[in-house]
Every structure is written in C-alpha cells, then in structure tokens.
C-alpha cells in the first residue's frame, strides 16, 4: 500500500514519527509492505519556497491509498495560509466529507468526569467536513476601521447534509449501534439548520431499528458532560463537530489522545490526530503520540486492515494500562519512548 506522510509543523513532526514507527512495526508483524512517501509541506517549506501546496499537490495526494498528516500551524505564519491550503484544501478538494472522530475512554483514571469509566465514554462523532462556516464565503468591508463589517456565510446543501447524516446511520447499522443523535441550532439558525431538521427526519425514517434523537448543540455539550453514556453516534455540522470533539477528547484524557479520519468512502482519505501543532511543546519530546498512532490505526482499519488496526489499538491500551505514556496522561516517558513502547507491543 502506498501512503503519503505529511508530518507538518511543531509536534506534528514528532508524533508522525511515532505513527510511522507503529505502521512499520505492524507491517513487519503481519508481513505487509507499506510504501511510505514523506511530503515536506508545512510552515518551513512555505517560508523557504513561498509554496503552500504545489499546483499538482491534490492530484499527487489522490494517487496514494491514504494520507497521514501530523498537524499544521506555526507562529511564524500567523495567517495560517499553508494550513488552509494543505489541510482544509485537501478536505475540500478530495471531497472528504466525513470527519470521523471516535471518543473512547481507555482507562477510568484518564477521565476528568467523576465516576465515569470506559463503559460510559464510547461514542463516535461524525462531523460534516466540506461545508458549514469553514468554506470561507464572505468578506470584510472597511477592514481595520471602526466601520468594519465582517460577513462569514454558513453553507448547508441538501447533498452535503444528506450524505453525512446517511453515513452516520449506515455506520450505526454496520457497527451494531442503536442510537444516532443529531445536533444543530435550528431554534436560532432557522434557515440552514431547518435543512438539517428536514434531512434528519427523512433519513431517520428509513432506519426504524435505530433510535434517532436530536439536541440543540448547547444542550448536547451539557449532556455530553452530564451523561456521556447515552451517546453512541453523534452527527453534526463542521463548526459544532470541531468544538464538541475537543470536549470529547478531554473525556479520553486530553487532546493528545484523540484520533480522526477525513474520509470519502471508497476514495483516498486522510488521517490525523485531533490536536494541532502545540508550538509550546514543539521539539521537546513531550507530546503524547497516542492520538497520532490511533489515527494510523483508523487509517489501516478504513483500508480494510482490521487485524493490523486492532493490533495497534491493543498496544496503545497496554501502554495506557501500564502507564508507559507521556506526562500529560500521568506517565514519565517522552514522545519517542512512549512510541517505542507501543511499537514493541504490536504483534
Ligand atoms: N489539524 C490541525 O492541524 C490543527 C488542529 C488544531 C489546531 N491547529 C493549529 O495548531 C496551532 C496551535 O493551536 P492550539 O494551541 O489551539 O491547539 P493544539 O491542539 O496545538 O494545542 C492545545 C493544547 O493541547 C495540548 N496538546 C495538544 N496536543 C497534545 C499532545 N499531542 N500531547 C500533549 N498535549 C497536547 C497542549 O497543552 C496544547 O497547548 C495553531 O496554529 C492552530 O491553528 C492545527
């Protein structure tokens, strides 16, 4: 299999090295060859060349079976142009409409919620990944003055909403999950989110065996904290999904633990930890590599390599249970040493 590897910026580079270690090790253990091609795109490359992503960059990415990306964002490039082109650009250009973010607690001691254990925190969030407020339609008028007007439009299309809601139900059906919860803000956002309401009613009626519930996004945030066990599958828009999955990550032990996939079923998809480039930790060998390594497992699972993915997940679980982890989740290891432990346990 041919995999594109984009380490990116800051801790992205460090955690990607550990994900690559895990991929290489699982290949050895299962007799598989992964052809890894490292792409240098990121802040350094942009600052040196002025290029965020080359003109044929998206076509290059399409030629791989999957893409792994660390994180993008650098204090030297405050406008974040390279991150927009590489990360959001790839999501849009490759039409990766499913942002798949599992929220799974591995050990009770990692959860900041009182008396909650792994059986209480085990759900997935599907975030719409190609529309919403992130398409950047709008503009600024009289920018920088006291008369400034800033407009940012939220894009919601039937096609976009229908395919992500349908994906959530199909996932529930295929994985023995019995509930799907849709979250919007249709009480206040009465145009775009009326479309989410209509589609959710229509699609849910086609899945009578699955219980369909709805919360406004503010209530969802509250219920996630009060009673996470009620959730199995959550589906929501781009912005709300972005926010509630950081909340979900805290239930797992923090941003360093959370994995994600940007998926177009059947096409080249892209996998990345939920966290960013955490500049304050960059180059210090302190970042938690688990989110990145778990994202590599998601990538292999999506490519149909379920045994390989399960072997990586089992090694992560062992590392957590034996506290062979980084300081953010109570361990004493550095990024490389935590990655080494996990790689060694993959079998
Ligand atoms: N997908 C992405 O590439 C992505 C996502 C979010 C933010 N960003 C970018 O990253 C830069 C920093 O953003 P931010 O500080 O808001 O978010 P961040 O996720 O980089 O970091 C927030 C905080 O979470 C903790 N954290 C994150 N990852 C960790 C890890 N692996 N191990 C241990 N602790 C970890 C740290 O305390 C860190 O300061 C910005 O340039 C932002 O635009 C990129």
pLDDT in tens, 135-187: 999 999 999 999 999 999 999 999 999 999 999 999 999 999 999 999 999 99
Among 72, 79, 275, the mutation site with the greatest number of ligand 1 atoms within 8 A of its Cβ is: 275
Residue nearest (by alpha carbon) to ligand 1 atom 5: 276
Average pLDDT over residues 257-275: 98
Q: Which atom of ligand 1 is nearest to the CA of 74?
A: 41
Band of residue 340 on the pLDDT scale cut at 50, 70, 90? very high
Q: Which atom of ligand 1 is nearest to the CA of 328?
A: 33
Residue 253 is predicted with a pLDDT of 98
Q: Which atom of ligand 1 is nearest to the CA of 272?
A: 1
- C-alpha of residue 80 to centroid of ligand 1, in Å: 14
* Sequence-separated contacts (24+) of 302-308 with Cβ below 8 Å: 302/66, 302/261, 302/263, 302/269, 302/271, 303/1, 303/65, 303/66, 305/30, 305/32, 307/30, 308/26, 308/27, 308/29, 308/30, 308/32
- C-alpha of residue 142 to centroid of ligand 1, in Å: 32
CB 164 within 8 A of CB 126: yes
88-117 pLDDT tens trace = 999 999 999 999 999 999 999 999 999 999
Among 245, 255, 261, 280, the mutation site with the greatest number of ligand 1 atoms within 8 A of its Cβ is: 255
Band of residue 304 on the pLDDT scale cut at 50, 70, 90? very high
Residue nearest (by alpha carbon) to ligand 1 atom 24: 255
Average pLDDT over residues 281-310: 98
Q: Which atom of ligand 1 is nearest to the CA of 70?
A: 3
Band of residue 293 on the pLDDT scale cut at 50, 70, 90? very high
- C-alpha of residue 113 to centroid of ligand 1, in Å: 22
When the pLDDT of each residue in the chain is averaged and rounded to a whole number, the result is 98
List ligand 1's pocket residues with C-beta within 6 A. Answer: 11, 15, 71-73, 80, 83, 87, 254-256, 272, 275-280, 287-288, 291, 328
Residue 73 is predicted with a pLDDT of 97
Three-class DSSP category at 152: strand
Cα 314 from Cα 321, distance rounded (Å): 11
Residue 301 is predicted with a pLDDT of 97
CA 336 to chain centre: 22
Eight-state DSSP code of residue 333: B
Of 316, 218, 314, nearest to 258 (Cα)?
316
């Amino acid at each position: 299999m041919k995999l594109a590897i984009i380490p990116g910026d800051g801790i992205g580079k460090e955690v990607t090295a550990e994900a690559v270690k895990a991929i290489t090790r699982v290949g050895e253990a299962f007799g598989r060859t992964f052809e890894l091609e490292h792409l240098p795109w990121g802040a350094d490359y942009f600052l040196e060349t002025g290029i965020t992503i080359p003109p044929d960059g998206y076509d290059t990415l399409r030629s791989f079976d999957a893409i792994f990306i660390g994180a993008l964002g650098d204090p030297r490039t405050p406008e974040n142009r390279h991150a927009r082109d590489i990360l959001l650009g790839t999501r849009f250009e490759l039409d990766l409409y499913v942002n798949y973010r599992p929220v799974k607690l591995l050990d009770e001691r990692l959860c900041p919620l009182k008396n909650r254990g792994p059986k209480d925190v085990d759900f997935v969030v599907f975030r719409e990944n190609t529309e919403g407020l992130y398409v950047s339609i709008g503009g600024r008028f009289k920018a920088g003055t006291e008369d400034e007007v800033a407009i940012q439009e939220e894009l919601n299309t039937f096609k976009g909403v229908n395919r992500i809601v349908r994906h959530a139900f199909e996932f529930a059906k295929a994985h023995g999950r019995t509930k799907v919860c849709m979250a919007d803000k249709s009480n206040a956002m009465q145009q775009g989110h009326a479309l989410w309401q209509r589609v959710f009613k229509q699609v849910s009626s086609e899945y009578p065996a699955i219980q369909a519930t709805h919360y406004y996004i503010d209530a969802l945030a509250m219920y996630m904290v009060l009673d996470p066990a009620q959730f199995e599958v959550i589906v929501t828009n781009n912005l709300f999904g972005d926010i509630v999955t950081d909340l979900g990550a805290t239930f797992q032990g923090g941003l360093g633990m959370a994995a994600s996939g940007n998926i177009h079923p059947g096409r080249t998809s892209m996998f990345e930890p939920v966290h960013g480039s955490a500049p304050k930790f960059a180059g210090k060998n302190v970042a938690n590599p688990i989110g990145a390594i778990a994202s590599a497992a998601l990538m292999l699972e999506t490519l149909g390599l379920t045994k390989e993915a399960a072997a990586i997940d089992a090694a992560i679980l062992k590392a957590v249970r034996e506290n062979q982890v980084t300081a953010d989740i109570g361990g004493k290891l550095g990024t490389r040493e935590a990655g080494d432990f996990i790689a060694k346990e993959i079998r």
